Structure 1
Amino acid sequence: MAETVPVTVVDGDDRSTIEVERGRTLRDALLDAGFEVYGRVSKHANCGGRGLCGTCGVAIEDGPAPTHWHDSAAARFGYPRLSCRITVEEAMTVRLVEKVVWGQLLPDSSGRG
């Protein structure tokens, strides 16, 4: 049996914890658990988790340090990190952010906290 790690997901006022197989991408784990990482349009037209479209952003409240170039930029400028570029290796807390068009965020939903 594969080892799992807890991932706490904050979705608005709701907070739940899912067990994720170590080594899975956060995007895939969230989608499989029924969480939406995309906006209305981008959930139908996205890059499929290849880190190209920039629409699967989530805010990492507690978790791994940035390793992907996009993660580093997100940390520097305070916007969400791409869930498709985060491998679940340790317990973490992520917050889903509301998106309006494509992967665009609402003005007060920048993921800055």
Structure 2
Amino acid sequence: MPKIIVQGKIIECEKGANLRQVLLKNNIDLYNGKAKYINCLGIGTCGTCAVEIEGEINPPNWKDKTRLSLPPHKLERNLRLACQTEVLGDITVSKYDKFWGQGGTKIW
């Protein structure tokens, strides 16, 4: 089973599990500020679940590429939408500040 290292915790999940669902199920506060209440609920359109991931995940799909190419995001940041990410192996997840997680300060 893949392991997710996040906020100093280690969470195990099934291979292919959706990262957003696993994080929320394990009480990881994925959203910054009011994005907790104002988000697309995982359909890949808002960009508020953007995270930095190190490890084995699926390649970005068209929703990931499209949303993260639009402001305030930039593709060169190498962020991923948690809602569009499948966990395929052990990963480490980091979140940045600002509403969409596009800031320059790592918060976890």
| TM-score with structure 1 setting the length | 0.73
- Give the paired residue count: 101
1:52 to 36, 45, 48: 45
The ranges of structure 1 where at least 4 consecutive aligned residues each deviate by more than 6 angstroms after the TM superposition are none
Aligned partner of residue 2 in structure 2, secondary structure: strand
Q: CA RMSD in A?
A: 2.6
Matches within 5 A, 1:22-101: 22-64=15-57, 66-69=59-62, 70-71=64-65, 73=69, 76-99=75-98, 101=99
Query: Which ranges in structure 1 are unaligned for 5 or more consecutive residues?
Result: none
Identity of counterpart residues, as a percentage?
31
How far residue 75 of structure 1 moved from its aligned partner, in angstroms, is: 8.6
Once the 2 structures are TM-superposed, how far is the Cα of residue 94 of structure 1 from its aligned partner? Answer: 1.1
**Farther off after superposition, 59-68 or 47-56:** 59-68
8 Å contact kept, 1:66–1:75: no
Q: Provide TM-score, normalisation by structure 2.
A: 0.76
Segments of structure 2 that go 5 or more residues without pairing to the other structure are none
Quick one: distance in 2 between partners of 1:95 and 1:6? 14
